[in-house]
Every structure is written in C-alpha cells, then in structure tokens.
DNA sequence: TTGAAAGCGCTACCAT
DNA sequence: ATGGTAGCGCTTTCAA
C-alpha cells in the first residue's frame, strides 16, 4: 500500500503538501498539485479511509426521511435496516437521525426536509413523495450533501434505490397464472394509488396476465373500498378461480370468508403481519414483496461509503431484491427439528 | 467514547498497562489487571477496532476451503461473495486465500486442510465434506484459529452458516402441491446423496407432500440415472400432473421432451445456468434455492468481524436466505422499460 | 510488573 | 504556497 508519505518522499515534498493536493485545497500551486496528482495516479495511490477517519474524527451529520404508510411494515423494516447498519458502523461514529412523516401528507415531508436543510448536514436518505418538489428543494445542496433516495429518483442523487414494484407485480401475475384452472378467470382488484407501490404493482401484474384469464377488461375499482366491500360480491361467480390484490387484502379476504366465498386462489403483492397470518391460514397462496429491510440497510451502508471513502466509483442504481413467499417460506428452520 | 487513555488516567496508570490488561497479556499483576478490567466493564469501554487495526497493521492469514460440486454455480457464487466482501474490506488488509477441492474427493479436502494448518493461519472458512474427520483435525487449533463453516457444523466453530436445504425442499413441496390438479398425482425423483444438498432437499420435500398426492409410495430412484433415463418413462402415465427434481433436472427434462412428454408441472430445488434456461423456457414452473453468493459474502464478513472486533458477542448460527424463482423473477427490471 | 516512546495513515492547525 | 507538529486510539518494542 502506497501512502501520502511515500508520494511526498518521491517528490521531495512534505506529507502536508501532498495531503493538500489530494484533498483539493486551493492553498497550493497548480503545478505542484498536478505533479502530486499525476504521481498518485501513476502509483495507484488509494486513500486509506481508516486513517482519514481516525485523524478527522469526522462526525457526519446524517438524516433519513422515511415515510409511514398504510402498511406499517414498510417503515418498520426500513428503520430496522438503517439501525442495523448504523450499529455495524458505530465505530466510525456513523449515526443516522431518522425522521418519519405520513405518506398521505406530502407537505409534511417537504416541511421536514426544509427544516433539516437549515442545519449543517452531510448526508441524506429520503423516500421522496413529491419527486419534483423535492428535487427543486435539493438542487442547491447537491454538491454539499450526499443523497440517497429510496423508491423514487430525483435524478441527481448519488444513489437511487429502486423498489421494483412493477416487477413484483409481474412476478405475482406469473404465479397466479400458473395456479388458475383451465377456462377459469381471475379477478383483478385495483386498490388505487398510494404514491408508493399500489399502482406500479398493478401495472406489472396486468402486463403479465393473458387476455384469456381476464374476467373483466378493467381491474375492479371500488370507491371507498373499506365501506363498500359488499360491492365485491357482484363481481364473483363460478367462472372465477383466483383473485389478485395489493391493498386491503386483509379486509377483503375477511369479507369474502364471511360471505362464505372460499377456495379462490389469492395472490397478493406486499407483506406485513396480517398477510403473514393469511399465508399461514392458507387464505393466500403466495405473496410477492420487496425487501424493505434491505433497502434501509443498503441505503445506510452506501451513504457511509459515499461519505467516508473518497476514492469510490459510486454505484448509480440498485434494485431491491424481490421475495416470493409461500406458506412454508415462513417456517423457521430451527422450528423444524 | 471512552478510551484506554481515559481508563489509565482514572486509575493512575499508563496507557500501556491498560492495553496489556485489555489484551490479555500475562506480564501484568493479577490485581492490577482486575482493577482495569472492572473499570473497563463499569465504564462500558469498547475497543475501537479502527485504532487497533491501524496500529497493529495486522495482516491476518485467512483461508477459504470451498468445494466444487456438480452444480458449478455453487462454487462460483460462493467465490463471488467471498471476493466482494474482501474488496469491501481491503482497506483493512483483509484478504482471503481461496482453495477449491472436488466434492467427490473427500481426501483431497482433508489433505488440503492439513496442508493449510502447517502454516500460520488466523481464520478459516470451510465447507466440510466429512464432518467428523474435519472436526478431529481442527480440534487442536480451535483456540488459535477462528473458524466459519458453511453447510455443515463442526460444533466448535465460531459461526456456522446453515444452508437450509431441508426447508428449501419443504417450500418446493408447498409450491408443487398448490399447482397440481385435483385427483392427479406427482412423481418424486430421488437423485441420490451428493453429501451436500440432494438428500436434505428430498427429505424436506417429502415432509410437505400429502399422501394423496403420491403416485408411488417411495421416491423413484434410478441407478446411473444419466445412462438409464429411458426407465423414467415407465413411471409416467395419465395420473401424473407434476414432477419434483433436485438433480439431473436438465437431462431428465430433455429426455421427457424428446419422448414428447410435456405439460407436466415441474418444480426443482437448486439453481444454475441450465435451470435458469429451463425456467425461461417454461420447462420448469419454479425452483427453490439457496443464496450461495450470500453464504460466501456472509462467511467472509463475519470472519472479519470475529477476527477484527474483539468485543463482539459472536453470532452462533445463520441460516441462508431461500429464494423462490418463477420465470418472471429472472427478468431484469432495467429490461422492462 | 510497569512505563516511555514510536508509529500506523491521515487531518488540522500554526508558522513561515 | 509550503512545512512543522500534534494527535486520533491503538499496538509494539525497548527500557526500567
């Protein structure tokens, strides 16, 4: 490993000057800087970030602005991931301040962001609700603050963690298709747009479903679903062998059971405690979801690397893993023996 | 953060003495040691491993003894994981020497291990073929060498990464069950024991399958499968709607197609390039497999932590994630837009 | 059995 | 614009 000291010796300079060149100080003659940088390049110098950290003791100011959705599991898992990576890196003084706002309250997120920006901040993790507004607000800070976005890109961030809801929908479509009896149909339920996942799930699902499987040309949409569950029954008949859901699954399934409509093959997108229970009950055959824990963990980990490792070709994009869960997926290996 | 210096001051000692107590040196009076350790405990002292590393420049000698199986993907993925984590930690001088031996050659692994042990080695990652022999060989080294095992435990290692083949088999059973038409049967194929996964996959699968789905009481076993594929045909008739495979899947499916036996629902355990192709061709509906990349990555990462972070409550056990793959799982999100 | 001092690779601050 | 020096938290070597 080649050090700043090594470079200094070869050029007849001191470490201090070399460090200055490497850290982009302007208190240095352009020519000296060039000589140093050229040699560093030639010798394949890589800054040791351990030394940097220890010397700098650089406590970075990092915020994560996450979103509480109808599916509580979403925020819980992301937070868990953030906290785990924080713990792993605590020896670096790596600490993330987590702020949560409500998914339905776009302005709350904007306000929260503006508030954070009044402080001295080095890194930001955000799941933007209103992409355009957030982008506009952040633009002036882009060279000061390292940014990781989750779910939605603002196009100038250092890393965008993509959720792949569309793909999850496709996979769900793939699975449900294989389950349906010949000449039977499926019912597709449109849960509306939650500004995060629902719409994209549905689009992906539809892209996978063959025309012949459709009972209705359009997905079923029921206004104020939770109050109007009884309307669902109108759409169900002998033809139908399966249902796709991505919102209100617990409520809808509960309702169907109460009406004694059973034995339908149900595949969902998303995961939370209720869906887990329904899988266990065999009310649902399979669900397809993103690994939100991993999103939090990966967001934190990468922000750390971007912040602490100066010589890093930064990752541009990352797509979350997609998990397919059947009932048996939930069983812990330890419980089997 | 409390430092050794802090402890020294409070006790009226020097850093050196404190360090000695903390590092378990014997050149120290028992009483002094106790005073230091007690205070450290009380103050919640945690050694900063960055400082340790930088001071010690402790190049550790680490070996990984992995196994080349019939499924080449197994070793490829584990190696990839090992290399990725190595790269991530290279600033710590973390480097793993990877040695591969053949899965069928148990003695080769033993020899390779014995050879390694003649060297000065700090950490070892191993996927033991003969558990008992390996255990016996390693016993005398247990306090000198930190050990991570993959797939099979030797009971005294620092971390055992469990593969969960049994569970994978269960999940495969779960999936195939949901796919089979009423009153139809499945054919279960016994691929024999490869000392890694096959047998466990099959056991798991069987545990999940209801009696009513079985066509034959016992899984079909065909000696020298690859030469005797034609025997398979004897077992297939109108009753059968699905097949379970965990070895020789490509060869068997190729054969069935050549005999014009199609439209059977096939679910497999395991993953490699050939299975990927069959999923894409819809020859297979789903496959259930372990994330071997993760096993390598996690093995390396944890060995690092055990080796470099002295104050660690070490993890005892880790079960690999299990992936269910349908055709659409293979599509890259980027290709969809 | 304890202490003093040097040094790992780097940053930060002061002096020139 | 450049250099000198101290120090981050720790290990290691030598001296007492």
pLDDT in tens, A105-131: 999 999 999 999 998 899 999 999 999
Q: Which of residues 212-271 of B touch strand D (CB under 7 A)?
A: none
Q: Could you tell me which residues of chain A have a Cβ less than 8 Å from any Cβ in chain B?
A: 1, 46, 48-51, 53-54, 91-92, 162, 164, 166-167, 170-171, 173-175, 178-179, 181, 208, 265, 285-286, 309, 319, 322-329, 331-334, 336
For residue A272, what are its two tokens?
A: 């939370």
Q: What residues of B are in contact with residue A206 (Cβ under 8 Å)? A: none
Q: Measure the CA–CA gap between A289 and A168, rounded to whole angstroms.
A: 6
pLDDT at position A311, please? 66
The string of DSSP letters for A69-107 reads -SSHHHHHHHHHHHHHHHHHTGGGT--EEEEEEETT-HH
Q: Provide the b/e sequence for A118-130 (b: ≥16 CB within 10 Å).
A: eeebbbbbbbbbe
Regions in chain B scoring below 50 on pLDDT: none
Q: Given a cut of 90, is residue A80 above it in pLDDT?
A: yes
pLDDT at position A71, please? 81
Q: Are A270 and A251 in contact (CB under 8 A)?
A: no
The pLDDT confidence band at residue A312, using thresholds 50, 70 and 90, is low
Q: B287 φ, ψ to 5°?
A: -135, 150
Q: Measure the CA–CA gap between B122 and B124, rounded to whole angstroms.
A: 7
Q: How far is the CA of A292 from the C1' of D3 (A)?
A: 51
Classified as helix, coil or strand, B124 is strand
Paired with B268 in beta bridges are B245, B287
Shortest CA distance from A319: residue in chain B: B333
Label residue A159 exposed, middle or buried (CB < 10 Å: 0-12, 13-18, 19+). Answer: buried
Q: In chain C, which nucleotides are within 7 Å of a protein Cβ?
A: 1-13
DSSP class of B130:
S
CB of A4 nearer than 7 A to strand D: no
Q: Measure the CA–CA gap between A317 and B163, rounded to whole angstroms.
A: 29
CB of A35 nearer than 7 A to strand D: no
Ordered structural domains, chain A, with CATH = 4-45 (1.10.260.40), 58-163+292-321 (3.40.50.2300), 165-290 (3.40.50.2300)
Q: How far is CA B87 from the centre of its chain?
A: 20
Q: Mean pLDDT score of chain A, rounded to an integer?
A: 91
Q: How far is CA A163 from the centre of its chain?
A: 5
* Count of positions (residues) in chain A: 337
Helix (H) or strand (E) holding A150: strand A146-150
Contact B208 A333 (CB under 8 A): no
Q: Measure the CA–CA gap between B16 and B68, rounded to whole angstroms.
A: 48
Strands across the sheet with B146-150, in order? B96-102, B62-68, B123-126, B146-150, B159-162, B317-319
For residue A139, what are its two tokens?
A: 């633009």
Q: Provide the b/e sequence for B242-278 (b: ≥16 CB within 10 Å).
A: bbbbbbbbbebbebbeeeeeeebbbbbbbbbebbbeb
Distance set, CA B223 to CA B129, B192, B227, B237 (Å): 23, 9, 9, 21
Q: Are B137 and A306 in contact (CB under 8 A)?
A: no
Shortest CA distance from B319: residue in chain A: A333
Report helix angle B292-308 to B49-56, nearest 10.
80
Classified as helix, coil or strand, B326 is strand
The pLDDT confidence band at residue A25, using thresholds 50, 70 and 90, is confident
Helix (H) or strand (E) holding B66: strand B62-68
Q: What residues of A are in contact with residue B92 (Cβ under 8 Å)? A: 50
Q: Given a cut of 80, is residue A250 above it in pLDDT?
A: yes
Percent of chain A at pLDDT exceeding 70:
98
Paired with B67 in beta bridges are B101
Paired with A63 in beta bridges are A97, A124
Q: B125 φ, ψ to 5°?
A: -110, 125
Distance set, CA B45 to CA B30, B36, B40, B50, B63 (Å): 19, 11, 5, 15, 32
pLDDT at position B311, please? 67
Q: Which conformational region is residue A195 in: left (phi greater than 0), alpha (psi within -120 to 50 degrees), or beta?
A: left
**A89, A333, A337, best to mutate vs chain B, most B CBs in 10 Å:** A333
Q: What residues of A are in contact with residue B182 (Cβ under 8 Å)? A: none
Paired with B68 in beta bridges are B102
pLDDT at position A336, please? 67
Q: Which residues contact A253 (CB under 8 A, 6 or more apart)?
A: A245, A266, A278, A283, A284
The pLDDT confidence band at residue A161, using thresholds 50, 70 and 90, is very high
CB of B55 nearer than 7 A to strand D: yes
For residue A170, how many other CB atoms are within 10 A of its CB?
Answer: 28
CA of A30: nearest nucleotide by C1' is D1
Considering only CA atoms, which residue is closest to the C1' of nucleotide D5?
Answer: A16
Q: Which residues contact B196 (CB under 8 A, 6 or more apart)?
A: B67, B69, B74, B103, B127, B151, B163, B165
Q: Are A172 and A323 in contact (CB under 8 A)?
A: no
CB of B5 nearer than 7 A to strand D: yes
Q: How far is the CA of A33 from the C1' of C10 (A)?
A: 18
Q: Which of residues 16-45 of B touch strand D (CB under 7 A)?
A: 16, 19-20, 22-23
What is the rounded average pLDDT of the residues A31-46? 90
CB of B327 nearer than 7 A to strand D: no
Task: Kindly report the nearest CA distance between residue A65 and chain B, in angstroms.
Answer: 25
Q: A128 φ, ψ to 5°?
A: -70, 135
Q: Which residues contact A265 (CB under 8 A, 6 or more apart)?
A: A176, A179, A180, A241, A242, A243, A285, B178
Q: Which residue has the tokens 């899965």?
A: B103
pLDDT at position B337, please? 59
pLDDT at position B317, please? 84
């Amino acid at each position: 490993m080649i050090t700043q000291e090594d470079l200094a010796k070869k050029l007849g300079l001191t470490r201090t000057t070399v460090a200055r060149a490497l850290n982009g100080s302007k208190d240095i003659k352009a020519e000296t800087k060039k000589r140093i940088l050229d040699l560093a390049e030639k010798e394949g110098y890589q800054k040791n970030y351990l030394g940097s950290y220890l010397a700098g003791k650089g406590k970075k100011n990092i915020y994560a602005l996450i979103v509480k959705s109808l599916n509580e599991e979403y925020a819980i898992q992301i937070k868990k991931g953030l906290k785990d990576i924080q713990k792993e890196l605590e020896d670096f003084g790596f600490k993330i301040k987590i702020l949560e706002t409500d998914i339905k309250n776009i302005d709350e997120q904007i306000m929260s962001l503006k508030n954070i920006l009044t402080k001295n901040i080095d890194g930001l993790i955000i799941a933007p609700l209103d992409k355009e507004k957030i982008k506009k607000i952040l633009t002036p800070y882009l060279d000061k603050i390292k940014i990781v976005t989750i779910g939605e890109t603002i196009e100038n961030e250092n890393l965008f963690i993509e959720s792949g809801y569309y793909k999850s929908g496709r996979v769900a479509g793939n699975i449900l298709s294989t389950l349906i009896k010949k000449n039977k149909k499926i019912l597709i339920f449109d849960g509306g747009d939650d500004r995060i996942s629902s719409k994209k799930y549905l689009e992906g699902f539809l892209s996978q479903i063959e025309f012949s499987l459709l009972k209705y040309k359009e997905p079923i949409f029921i206004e104020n679903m939770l109050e109007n569950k009884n309307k669902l029954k109108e759409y169900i008949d002998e033809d139908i062998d399966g249902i796709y859901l991505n919102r209100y699954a617990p409520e809808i399934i509960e309702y169907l059971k109460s009406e004694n409509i059973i034995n339908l093959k149900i595949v969902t997108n998303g995961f939370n405690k209720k869906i887990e229970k329904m899988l266990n009950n065999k009310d649902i055959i399979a669900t397809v979801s993103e690994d939100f824990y991993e999103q939090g963990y990966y967001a934190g980990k990468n922000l750390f690397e971007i912040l602490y490792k100066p010589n890093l070709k930064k990752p541009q994009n990352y797509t979350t893993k997609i998990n397919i869960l059947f009932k048996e997926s939930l069983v812990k290996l330890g419980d089997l023996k």
